[in-house]
Structure 1
Amino acid sequence: MSDNYGDIVSEGKSLKERFIELEIEYQAMQAYNYGNYDEYKWTDEEKLQQLSSYTNEYRDEIASWFADLDEMFADLADLPDPASLISAAEGLEPALVQLAGPIGQVDLGNGVQYPPQPNFSRLPSMENYLVDWNGVAADNFKSNYLPKFAAVAHHEFHAVASLKSALLAAAEMWKQARLDVSNIIDECNSALDDYDGGKDSADAVMALGIIGAIVAVAAVPFTGGSSAVLYWTLAGSALTVTGAVVGNPPEPKKELDIKGDSPAEICQSLREGISDMKIQWIEDEAFIRDQLYRLSDTISGYSSPSGSDGEPRPRYPYYGGYTSDHTYSEDTVHGFVLPRPSLADLGPGNVRGGFGQPEV
């Protein structure tokens, strides 16, 4: 096995030429003496003459059987770059540091511990600084804002960690996809080696690296009496987290079998293997997409209808909005973003007295 992804197009062209040459030989053997040159004691020179004649007459036609390989490998050479996804995930690190809160947090996706954020150490003594501040706004700030601030940071930390995990899951998926593309070319050449070496039937089994991008799931408890549960995706199947279970991607194929009794059959087996890989990529991408939809739904205050069977259903956007029977909860929204104080936007032009009249 090799990681030659950067050379996919040239490797594909070489494989295509090998298919053409071996298929020409195969068809020539079928055309002359029903595939058995030795039955009529042909000399090597006569065999070469017959093969040359057959090649001149049928090469273009046989080459057309494999013409689709150029586009197929050009498409496979343009898979997403895992490095850009990893870079985006790493760009979230500063936010996780700031949201670690007064007691610190653990990123469940990779087990990294974030120490307490020093700025939160001042929260317990904040009321001492506001002792002379009285009134409705003061009471609301002291009762409803300060006590919930740390909990909101906790939820925001895990929401950001969830986004990071989804990015890393996608990066790992495309990293393995690129490796699988490289390996399937190697396995196809191995099958052609078997055929060219005189085996009756070529057969090369390839173990797939794509194993389903994400598996573990977890639940974050909310404050404020909300029963909503936040679902997020974790990169790394070794981690087991107790919580609400969201289904995994469809079970992927563990291996591909590149085989056939002729070069054309081996090539068709290659096409089918690549099709199977692409289907798995689509399913894994859809799984990551739905996990992000669920995360977005929860942050926006939406949860699946009560009594829904199976895993939580995301709200799918469509042109003009959403069609959904999900339940909306403002308390859930406030688990991530505290309500904006009523006085936040007031100024000399809109401050009013107790009877709704502008102050003079």
Structure 2
Amino acid sequence: MSYLELAEHSVKFEELAIHASLRAQGFNKSGGTWHPPLGAEDAADLIVASTYRRYTGVAQMFTPFFGLPGPNDLQETYLRLESAQAKLSTGGDGYVDPASQRLIGADPVMNGMSAVEAAMQDWRGVAAEQFKGKFLKPWPAVTANQFTLLAVLAGAIKAEIALWTEARRNVDEIAHLALTALQSTGGIGDPKMEVFALTVAASVFSVGAAAIATTAAATSLTLTVAGAAAQAAGAVPREDAPKVAIDGGTAQGIVDQTLNALNALAFEIHQKETEIAYGLAMGLVVVTSHKDLFTAVRPWLADQTSTTITTDSGLGENL
């Protein structure tokens, strides 16, 4: 069974619900016609029509889950953010991604700023002091914060990939178990209880300690990073996930249990989306309130004119 066949399986679910209900009432189908049990001939048409009315439309409970975002559709965005992280990774050995805990090695181009700093040691003048104090000195903090911000975005995308991977897997599992339960109802097969965990519940975690380089007056600032748990279904910690059950009882009981399972899944999806959105919202607040921590200042020389560029307020002198 595949998620891409969910619409087809929802139609089958409705059909089996009708059939299971009629069989439970003693009807048998042959040659495309329902045959009533002995003694119910006079009311047969009414019972069949009533049963069809009762279950017609139950397939629509799966409709909200058609067209869930495809994990592969987000992969390119994640890879682009990951590539940008690599270009902003500086320091001795690089930076550790706060969401994945993966070490991203230092980019040699970005680390070239240390050579620039060495070359500037003998430069004197207003522009020189401005460049050293307001550009070179905060450079490591600014790049580290930009790296962390990218980690927030990449972590959110990775979390979305995990979320929708498990959401598709879970709704497919619900459809599969519901069909199996209906097929074992009404005298066909042995009814049995099927219990499974909503693995979407464990697909996302939040890291609330992604520190950013700040001034002494703002040492408490952090970014909340949403991350993804293991992608493989077997690796997701199921003991933390809510359990839902579908058994082979009555047709109506199975329809109700299936609806409850789908509602539980929708709730878990909403909860995980809220986690991701919260992390991004908190990050936005930090960035918009402290733009100086994420943006290098405009170099003093950029605003000099042809008249001032060669003065002490411009290029100054090289000792």
The question of 1:273 aligning with 2:265 is answered: no
Equivalent pairs counted in the alignment come to: 293
The Cα shift of 1:192 comes to 2.4
d(CA) in 2 for partners of 1:166, 1:260: 39
The question of 1:223 aligning with 2:194 is answered: no
- TM-score using structure 2 length: 0.79
The alignment-based identity, stated in percent, is: 22
* Greater RCO structure (CA 8 Å; 6+ sep): 2
The question of 1:94 aligning with 2:90 is answered: no
Q: Is the 8 A contact 2:196 2:243 kept in 1?
A: yes
d(CA) in 2 for partners of 1:340, 1:350: 17
The question of 1:264 aligning with 2:255 is answered: no
d(CA) in 2 for partners of 1:115, 1:75: 43
d(CA) in 2 for partners of 1:52, 1:112: 71
Deviation readout 1:173-196 (Å, 9 max, x if unpaired): 111011111111121123224433
The aligned runs of 1:1-360 (5 Å cut-off) are 3-27=1-25, 56-103=45-92, 104-130=94-120, 133-197=123-187, 203-217=193-207, 218-225=209-216, 226-237=218-229, 254-259=242-247, 261-301=249-289, 332-341=290-299, 344-345=302-303, 347=305
Q: Is the 8 A contact 1:16 1:69 kept in 2?
A: yes
The Cα shift of 1:145 comes to 1.2
Report which of the two has the higher share of helix: 2
d(CA) in 1 for partners of 2:44, 2:75: 50
The Cα shift of 1:16 comes to 0.9
Deviation readout 1:9-62 (Å, 9 max, x if unpaired): 111111110101111233457xxxxxxxxxxxxxxxx85566776553333432
Closer/same/farther in 2, CA of residues 52 and 202 from structure 1, 3 Å limit: farther
The letter of the residue matching 2:81 is L
d(CA) in 2 for partners of 1:266, 1:14: 14
Closer/same/farther in 2, CA of residues 48 and 121 from structure 1, 3 Å limit: same
Q: Which runs of 5+ in 1 are unaligned?
A: 30-45, 239-250, 302-331, 354-360
Aligned to 1:323: none
Closer/same/farther in 2, CA of residues 94 and 253 from structure 1, 3 Å limit: closer
The letter of the residue matching 1:142 is K
The Cα shift of 1:219 comes to 2.7
The letter of the residue matching 1:337 is T
Q: Is the 8 A contact 2:144 2:213 kept in 1?
A: no
Q: Which runs of 5+ in 2 are unaligned?
A: 28-34, 231-238, 312-319
SS of match in other structure, 2:59 = helix
SS of match in other structure, 2:90 = coil
**Two-structure CA RMSD over aligned residues (Å):** 3.2
Deviation readout 1:142-195 (Å, 9 max, x if unpaired): 122102112211111121012111111111111101111111112112322443
